[in-house]
């Protein structure tokens, strides 16, 4: 089993904790990581452009003129795509038609591999007393990051229930992002070079990724 050091909020080392090899010693081929990342990026897309079809444009209920006898081309509605102000044919829609999915086993393996890379590079920080905060304190976390020489690095805080004060403490720190452990995703894990997690949350994370 891999072993990582644990710290308190003062930045002092308090001991160590063993990590389960099946979760934190995972390897994955680059093609698997690429596939999971690609699907995640596609699903992040939020289409905004939206055009109306002829069925959605207001008006046009009456036939413009008689079918025969006028000498003009036959038309059934002024909201036809042929008319100015009519519907749009094959225009952009804001419906999520680009959503993709990836098998859960593949996604979990990619996430385990990302966590494992952080463990191997000593970028997986476990903190003992996150739940003991009595009030939000950004100052305490700033000094903590300075003590561990993380002040200039991007840190991903894996939060959990009961850690609301800790979440509020890091909310305004520019290079720190807090996410709930059930929302751990491959994009954040690859974007942030260091992971911060509470010791009590580590067991939940291990069960979640097993």
117-171: pLDDT as tens digits: 999 999 999 998 888 888 999 999 999 999 999 999 999 999 988 899 999 999 9
> Hey, which bits of 35-80 come out as E strands?
none
Give the architecture (CATH level 2) of 2-45+99-209: 3-Layer(aba) Sandwich (3.40)
pLDDT classification of 114: cutoffs 50, 70, 90: very high
β-pair type (2-7, 13-19) = antiparallel
User: Is the four-CA dihedral 51, 55, 56, 62 of positive or negative sign?
Assistant: positive
Q: Is the pLDDT of residue 35 over 90?
A: yes
> Does residue 79 contact residue 64 with C-beta atoms inside 8 Å?
no
Residue 2 has pLDDT above 90, yes or no: no
pLDDT mean across residues, the chain: 92
CA separation (Å) from 5 to 37, 123, 196, 197?
Answer: 30, 11, 12, 12
- State pTM to two decimals: 0.81
pLDDT at residue 28, as a whole number: 93
SS3 89: coil
Percent of the chain scoring above 90 in pLDDT: 80
Quick check: 155 and 145 in contact, CB under 8 A? yes
Return the percentage of the chain with pLDDT > 70, whole number: 100
Q: What share of the chain is helix, strand, coil (3-state, %, to 5)?
A: 35, 15, 50
Three-state secondary-structure class, residue 180: strand
What does the pLDDT read at residue 45?
86
Domains of the chain by residue range:
2-45+99-209, 47-97
Rg for the chain (alpha carbons), in Å? 27
Distance between CA 11 and CA 122 in Å, rounded? 15
């Amino acid at each position: 089993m891999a072993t990582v050091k644990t710290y308190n909020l003062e930045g002092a080392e308090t001991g160590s904790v063993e990590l389960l090899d099946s979760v934190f010693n995972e390897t994955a081929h680059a093609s698997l990581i690429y596939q999971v990342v690609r699907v995640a990026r596609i699903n992040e897309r939020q289409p905004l452009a939206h055009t109306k079809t002829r069925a959605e444009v207001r008006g046009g209920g009456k036939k413009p003129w008689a079918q025969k006898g006028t000498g003009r081309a036959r038309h059934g509605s002024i909201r036809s795509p042929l008319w100015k102000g009519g519907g749009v044919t094959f225009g952009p829609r804001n419906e999520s038609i680009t959503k993709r999915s990836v098998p859960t086993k593949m996604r979990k393996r990619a996430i385990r591999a990302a966590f494992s890379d952080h463990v191997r590079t000593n970028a997986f920080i476990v903190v003992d007393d996150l739940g003991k905060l009595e009030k939000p304190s950004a100052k305490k976390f700033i000094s903590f990051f300075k003590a561990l020489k993380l002040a200039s690095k991007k840190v991903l805080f894996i939060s959990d229930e009961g850690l609301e004060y800790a979440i509020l403490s890091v909310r305004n720190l520019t290079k720190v992002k807090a996410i709930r452990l059930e929302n751990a995703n491959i994009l954040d894990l690859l974007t942030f070079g260091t992971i911060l997690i509470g010791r009590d949350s580590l067991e939940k994370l291990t069960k979640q990724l097993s």
